[in-house]
Amino acid sequence: MMHSAIMAKRILSGSWVLIAAVCCGAGAPAFAQSLAAGEDPPDRAAVVNALDGNASLQPAGSEEWTPDLLNRPLTTGDKLWIDADSRGEMHLGATAIRVGQRTALELLNVDDNVAQFRLTSGVLSIHLRYLSADEVFEVDTPNAAVTLVEPGVYRIDVNEAGDVTQVGVLAGQAQVASAAEPLTLDPQQHAEISGLDAPAVNVDYLPPPDGFDEWAAQRDRREDESASAEYVSRDMTGYEDLDEYGTWEVLSVYGPVWVPRVAAWWAPYHDGHWVWIAPWGWTWVDEDRWGYAPFHYGRWLHVRGRWCWSPGRIGRRPVYAPALVGWIGGPHFGAAVAPGAAAGIGWFPLGYNEFYRPPYPASDQYLRAMNVTNTHIDNSAPSPELAGEHQRRYINQGVAGAIAAVPRSAFVSAAPVRQNMLRVDPRALESAPAGTAIMDIKPTMRSIAPMPRGGARTAKPMPGVFARPVVGRTPPPRPAPVRLLPPKLAPAPPAPMRPERPKRFESTPPRPMRPAQPVQPLRPARPPPPVRPVQPMRPLQPVRPLQPVRPAMPGREASPTAPTRIAPAPKTQPKTPPPQRRGIEPRPLGPQQRL
- How do the domains of the chain map onto residue ranges? 2-30+47-92+95-220+516-570, 234-443
Q: What whole-number distance in Å separates Cα of residue 140 and Cα of residue 176? A: 10
Report whether pLDDT(240) > 80.
Answer: yes
Mean pLDDT of 497-526: 38
pLDDT at site 6: 37
Neighbouring residues of 339: CB distance < 8 A, sequence distance ≥ 6: none
566: confidence class by pLDDT, cuts 50, 70, 90:
very low
Q: What whole-number distance in Å separates Cα of residue 214 and Cα of residue 217? A: 5
Contact by Cβ (8 Å): 207, 183 = no
pLDDT at site 441: 87
Please tell me which residue, 428 or 43, carries the higher pLDDT value.
43
Q: What whole-number distance in Å separates Cα of residue 357 and Cα of residue 190? A: 48
Instruction: Name the 3-class secondary structure at 511.
Output: coil
pLDDT at site 438: 76
In SS3 terms, 194-222 reads as: ECCCCCEEEEEECCCCCHHHHHHHHHHHH
Q: What whole-number distance in Å separates Cα of residue 242 and Cα of residue 233? A: 13
For the chain, the farthest-separated pair of C-alpha atoms sits apart, in whole angstroms, at 78
DSSP 418-451: GGGPPPB-HHHHHTS--BSS-------HHHHSPP
pLDDT > 70 in the chain, percent = 68
**Beta-ladder partners of 154:** 126, 169
Q: What whole-number distance in Å separates Cα of residue 487 and Cα of residue 481? A: 12
Q: Could you read off the pLDDT of 37-81 as tens digits, one per residue?
A: 568 999 999 999 999 999 999 999 899 999 999 999 999 999 999
434: confidence class by pLDDT, cuts 50, 70, 90:
confident
Report whether pLDDT(505) > 50.
Answer: no
Neighbouring residues of 391: CB distance < 8 A, sequence distance ≥ 6: 354, 355, 385, 434, 435
Cβ burial, residue 259 (10 Å; 0-12/13-18/19+): middle
Mean pLDDT of 284-304: 97
343: confidence class by pLDDT, cuts 50, 70, 90:
confident
Q: Is the dihedral of CA 433, 437, 441, 445 positive or negative?
A: positive
Of 134-138, 403-407, 414-418, 487-491, the range with the lowest mean pLDDT is 487-491
Please tell me which residue, 569 or 235, carries the higher pLDDT value.
235
Q: What whole-number distance in Å separates Cα of residue 139 and Cα of residue 118? A: 6
36: confidence class by pLDDT, cuts 50, 70, 90:
low
CB atoms within 10 A of CB 590: 10
- Give the phi and the psi of residue 139 in degrees, each rounded to 5: -125, 120
Report whether pLDDT(302) > 60.
Answer: yes
Q: Could you read off the pLDDT of 197-232 as tens digits, one per residue?
A: 999 999 999 999 999 999 999 999 999 999 999 999
Neighbouring residues of 456: CB distance < 8 A, sequence distance ≥ 6: 67
Report whether pLDDT(561) > 50.
Answer: no
pLDDT at site 114: 96
Q: What whole-number distance in Å separates Cα of residue 402 and Cα of residue 150? A: 45
Mean pLDDT of 374-379: 78
Q: What whole-number distance in Å separates Cα of residue 487 and Cα of residue 360? A: 5
Please tell me which residue, 5 or 38, carries the higher pLDDT value.
38
- Give the phi and the psi of residue 370 in degrees, each rounded to 5: -60, -40
Contact by Cβ (8 Å): 311, 256 = yes
pLDDT at site 38: 63
Q: Could you read off the pLDDT of 90-113 as tens digits, one per residue?
A: 999 999 999 999 999 999 999 999
Write out the E strands in 159-270.
164-171, 174-177, 183-185, 189-194, 200-205, 246-251, 255-260
Please tell me which residue, 105 or 22, carries the higher pLDDT value.
105
Write out the E strands in 245-377.
246-251, 255-260, 272-277, 281-286, 299-303, 306-310, 325-328, 344-349
Instruction: Provide the phi-psi class of 477: left if phi over 0, else alpha when psi is between -120 and 50, else beta.
Output: beta
Instruction: Enter the CATH code of domain 2-30+47-92+95-220+516-570.
Output: 2.60.120.1440
Mean pLDDT of 154-167: 98
Mean pLDDT of 408-433: 86
Please tell me which residue, 403 or 485, carries the higher pLDDT value.
403
Report whether pLDDT(536) > 60.
Answer: no
Neighbouring residues of 158: CB distance < 8 A, sequence distance ≥ 6: 119, 120, 121, 122, 123, 141, 142, 164, 165, 166
Report whether pLDDT(513) > 90.
Answer: no
* Cis ω before 279 (30° cut-off from 0): yes
Cβ burial, residue 583 (10 Å; 0-12/13-18/19+): middle
pLDDT at site 457: 79
Q: What whole-number distance in Å separates Cα of residue 508 and Cα of residue 255? A: 10
Q: What whole-number distance in Å separates Cα of residue 497 and Cα of residue 383? A: 5
